[in-house]
Structure 1
Amino acid sequence: MQRSPALFRADLSLDLPYSDLAKAVVDACERAEDAGARVAALSLGGGRDWPGASEVHEVNTWERALRRWERLPAVTVTVADGACSGPALEVLSASDLRVAGRNLRLGLPGTAATGFWPGTVLHRLTRRIGASATRRLCLFAHPRTPLDAGEACLLGLVDEVVDSGGIQRRLDELARDLPAGLEPALLRQLVDDAAHTSFEEALGVHLAACDRLLRNGGARP
């Protein structure tokens, strides 16, 4: 785990059972907020058959933890390097920026017997990479066949690929270069609402956001 005034980084073991994994994500969220971090990063590692022997209430707890993560006031970054499977794609899809190390081997959620896991990862992927790409991925990609970093980037499952030794440097750059007045939660919500809101309905909300920025002097260089 690493914390600084601008950057919070925590390791997340994907080998944990549902309940412990959800607690770890919520704990990371709370620590990032307590630190006042502007960038919150989770570094993924490991994985297991997903979801394994679980109950639906555990799935609900996990989904709520992911929702907590993707609503953080900080910019959220997920780093995946080496072997990452099980819920890795779920965490990646819930993050603002998804960074892969060159050694990434990304396993998809699900099992050889049942195929792709039907959690809200499908909803998030559809909004991020489109329905057609998500359909091909969930119907035809095999959970037992991991994707390398280049394949994951080509499919839109990660945003950028960096050398494994340069991951910390990349996170430091992100934290350093963010505009001082950036409001990630507000911008994130405006983007998400665009998928189901007409221009006429959205106009008032966007004008209110613009007015808030102008009143705070955020438009000045």
Structure 2
Amino acid sequence: MEDDLDVEETPTIVTDVAANTALSPELTSSVLAAATAAEDTAARPGTCVVLRIAGARGGRRFDWPGPVGVGDVTKWEAALRRLEQAPAPIVALVDGDAYGPAAELLLVADYRIMGAGASFSFAASEAGVWPAMALHRLAAQVGIGRVRELAVQGRPLSAEAARACAVIDAVAEHGAEAAAIAAGRALFRSCVGSEIAIRRRLVLDAVTTRFEDALGAHLAASDRTLRRVRAVS
């Protein structure tokens, strides 16, 4: 992965996450650190979180989450949820295969990049695919059929197939990773962090909320936008 990320004129929070081992306090802490940094800089327009995720290499698969307790898993899921609710756009790039924790982390991002030739898959063991909240996220985002393929049948998706079905947003050739990140960041250059967090929540809640129940949240978001526009005009 390239290390010369150009932060240009917009504030950028770059976090490297080693998502190629079993669950550990260090892995959870690295995700929490990205969320905390995003929360601390929410007032700065255009702030973007860039996650550079080290995934599995060479087809290697490892035990996920590993020899941990449900309390450790709860902390991991809470860290992902906190990042998912962060008041800043999230651009994520996986270096290697998006397997297990890398796949789970990628699904909380607003713009997702994988390398050409890599694969996307959930972790699995003799008991089957790990029942992470990532299954819920993916079902909400791309539908039950794709989740059945990944979670029930246990089949991986190539990066190219993941792009074709909108699991990810871009496939980067080797050497073009920084350009892919820059393209993702450019989409959010004028974003206000608190506002993108609201839109993200509205989208995520859409598949589980009745229209009548969702209306109030959407009207509240509309009112916020109208008041913000009036304040700057």
TM-score bucket of the superposed structures, by smaller chain: 0.7 to 0.9
Match status 1:127 vs 2:140: yes
2:59: which partner in 1?
none
Give secondary structure in 2 for the equivalent of 1:43.
strand
1:102 and 1:149 in contact (8 A); partners too = yes
2:163: which partner in 1?
153
1:59 to 38, 62, 73: 73
2:31 and 2:83 in contact (8 A); partners too = yes
CA distance 1:102–1:75, change in 2 (3 Å): same
2:91 and 2:185 in contact (8 A); partners too = no
1:81 and 1:105 in contact (8 A); partners too = no
1:209: which partner in 2?
221
2:53 to 32, 44, 47: 44
- Unaligned regions of 5+ residues in structure 1, if any? none
TM-score by length of 1: 0.84
How far the C-alpha of 1:126 sits from its partner, in A, is 0.9
Distance 2:77 2:131 in 1: 12
User: What is the one-letter code of the residue matched to 2:54?
Assistant: G
Match status 1:165 vs 2:175: yes
Q: Report Cα offsets for 1:139-197 as digits up to 9, x if no partner.
A: 2124xxx5431132234432221223222223233334436354111111221222233
- Unaligned regions of 5+ residues in structure 2, if any? 57-61
Distance 1:151 1:175 in 2: 23
Give secondary structure in 2 for the equivalent of 1:197.
coil
TM-score by length of 2: 0.80
Which 10-residue stretch deviates more, 187-196 or 100-109?
A: 100-109
Match status 1:70 vs 2:73: no
In the comparison of the two structures, how many residue pairs are matched? 217
CA distance 1:120–1:168, change in 2 (3 Å): same
Match status 1:79 vs 2:69: no
User: What is the one-letter code of the residue matched to 1:132?
Assistant: G
Match status 1:178 vs 2:184: no
Distance 2:216 2:92 in 1: 33
User: What is the one-letter code of the residue matched to 1:11?
Assistant: D
1:38 and 1:175 in contact (8 A); partners too = no
Distance 1:122 1:186 in 2: 22
1:73 and 1:184 in contact (8 A); partners too = yes
Give secondary structure in 2 for the equivalent of 1:196.
coil
Q: Which protein has greater RCO, CA pairs closer than 8 Å, 6+ apart?
A: 2
Distance 2:216 2:100 in 1: 41
How far the C-alpha of 1:8 sits from its partner, in A, is 1.8
2:31 to 25, 30, 39: 25
Give secondary structure in 2 for the equivalent of 1:78.
strand
The root-mean-square deviation of aligned C-alpha atoms, in Å, is 2.7
How far the C-alpha of 1:13 sits from its partner, in A, is 0.6
Give secondary structure in 2 for the equivalent of 1:165.
coil
How far the C-alpha of 1:208 sits from its partner, in A, is 2.4
2:12 and 2:49 in contact (8 A); partners too = yes
Q: Report Cα offsets for 1:88-110 as digits up to 9, x if no partner.
A: 11111222221112142334312
How far the C-alpha of 1:34 sits from its partner, in A, is 3.4
2:163 and 2:170 in contact (8 A); partners too = yes
Distance 1:27 1:203 in 2: 34
1:187 to 157, 178, 199: 199
Give secondary structure in 1 for the equivalent of 2:199.
helix
How far the C-alpha of 1:32 sits from its partner, in A, is 3.3
CA distance 1:106–1:196, change in 2 (3 Å): closer
